[in-house]
A and B are shown apart, each in its own frame.
Chain A
């Protein structure tokens, strides 16, 4: 979790976005049918499909307004831009963020680009090997000459084994 002050600054941005989202939900709910009729012709507003999202949209606006109010009261809105610029300046040396972004990109590429490009087990083996190589190889400890064959074996055997079990025993085809 972000440090307290940075979190409160972000709360201002995020809760404002949430309020906007809540308003969008309320508008969308208001455009749903609000006058379904019973067999006798009476209007049954309480059966409207908009009632439930409208209630939730209302709660979202109220709760987010409280978070916004709390954040503004605690830290003010003055230096959000300065804090963001400072974070951006430190980004080149922020290794934890690099690691998260790399992991997200790898999983994203695997899902949105890789799957469907070739046989599922081949794409998955490449994904696993690249992921392991990027994160495990630079760590101290075992020699690289040992890590490469271990990673290769894991990368190939796991997708093959999983695909075999799912397709043979559970009759679930792979993507």
Chain B
């Protein structure tokens, strides 16, 4: 795998590929810099632009925009104190005080190096872990695939819900239900189509993603239009703080592992990786009280983790067909559009695919190194662009993107209705990510459940006799139990008793 990865690095280095890479990284950085435009949205919008391209070029563009958009929120976090998206939120706590001290350029350069290291960490994990996961996944039957889908939706719901975890589960169930619309694949029965032929083929993923991530964001940004007051315009010297980077080498390593691990959990993503890494870095730091006042470790650690999470979130996409983050969910949708079905059979159908994706991550990391530093001063100008001008453009692109997939107006109507629905649900504390993950995994869950039961003549025995199924059921039960106040109270009681 590693040898194939190295040869892919060379094979991908054609002028056209590198041109697309640079252009897409640029778009990703612009999206990441602007508050309100997320990596998921950038990947979703660019996916619609890549329908006409060949798979290699399309994937290069999507990966580059993904990496660029996860890295660039650090620019707005440092210069504005407001992250471009949730992935850069932790960086703002120490990045902005550094910029106010005149060290904005140094903070951006250091965060760029940390992001490059994080991305490379993630791609190395992708190359190393994927073969193991694929060989494990080849022993996975329909029963386990159903449980993986269920686990993915429930854990994503638990971890992304801003209110009660159970609201995240409800959101996931709604996503799974939306996936049930249309002609079901086993008996060809039309479910929930109400005689509408536009629903017979099921709900397209791209309009739902564009509606779910673009429109609510537009409404929220326009509602809270008060962000442009305090952009730091003098960024100073653009040299990384090499000494701090060297001193933080173990922290970087730890953040890389954290990023990959959290990224691989279905639907959780880069923002939680960054927060977890920031929190752990503060706990391990010699001077934890300096966090929040401009400690460079508060920039290095979350930036390493959020970019490492990219590789982590791609691992389950390629090996199991389960997305590790919302942006990875869009990536999975884009792969399906291009006729690639990720899963355990992927390395057999396309032996070079995983090394190729890793090589694309490598080139993207170099691209953010060069463009990220070159665009640091441009970011100051980009951050001055008014949201009230950018948001209608995003709405227009979402309309074009929704239409261009199936060339029908129904997708645009779906996008709008879904966007308004998601905005209202998010106001009530129901997250959107489990809905999207549910929609993507719904078909797999449905077919796997029925095939699993068919193989056992309707018996539930495989659910509790197969070791992998048992492990998955245990994981589901444990993760659900931890949401219970009673269980948490019992556990904290035990911990207190032990401490006493």
A interface residues, Cβ below 8 angstroms from B? 1-2, 7, 10-11, 14, 18, 25, 28, 32-33, 36, 44-47, 49, 51-53, 55-57, 59-60, 63-64, 66-67, 70, 96-97, 99-100, 103-104, 106-108, 110-112, 115-116, 124, 127-128, 131-132, 135-136, 139, 151, 154, 158-159, 162, 165-166, 169-175
Contacts and interface: CB of A to CB of B under 8 A. Distances in A.
B191 A100 contact: no
B392 A99 contact: no
Nearest to A25: B177
Nearest to B419: A107
B224 interface: yes
Contact of A1 (B187, B192, B225, B427): B427
Contacts of B51: 170, 172
Given A56-B180, A162-B400, A63 B409 contact: no
15 contacts: A1-B163, A1-B426, A7-B163, A46-B454, A63-B170, A66-B166, A67-B170, A70-B164, A96-B224, A128-B396, A135-B388, A136-B386, A165-B49, A171-B52, A174-B400
Interface of B: 49, 51-52, 162-164, 166-167, 169-170, 173-174, 176-177, 180, 184, 186-187, 189, 191-192, 215, 218-219, 222-225, 386, 388-389, 391-393, 395-397, 399-400, 403-404, 407, 409, 412-413, 416, 419-420, 423, 426-429, 445-446, 449-450, 453-454, 458
A135 B387 CA distance: 9
Contacts of B428: 1-2, 7, 10-11, 14
B173 A100 contact: no
A112 B414 CA distance: 11
Nearest to B169: A63
A99 B223 contact: yes
A56 B6 CA distance: 45
Q: Which applies to chain B's interface (DSSP): helix, strand, loop or mixed?
A: helix
Contact of B191 (A53, A96, A115): A53
A131 B395 contact: yes
Contacts of A10: 428
Contacts of B223: 96-97, 99-100
Contacts of A162: 396-397, 400
A99 B52 contact: no
Nearest to A104: B420
A44 B166 contact: no
Given A46-B458, A111-B412, A63 B166 contact: yes
A127 B454 contact: no
Contact of A45 (B413, B426, B458): B458
Among A33, A56, A166, max chain B CB count under 10 A is at: A56
A49 B184 contact: yes
Contacts of A115: 399, 409, 412
Contacts of A171: 52
A81 B448 CA distance: 45
Contact of A67 (B49, B167, B388): B167
Contacts of A99: 222-223, 225
A145 to B, nearest CB: 17
Nearest to B174: A60
Contacts of B177: 25, 53, 56-57, 60
Contact of A100 (B166, B222, B413): B222
A11 B388 CA distance: 32
B260 to A, nearest CB: 30
A41 to B, nearest CB: 14
Among A52, A110, A136, max chain B CB count under 10 A is at: A52
Contacts of A56: 173, 176-177, 180
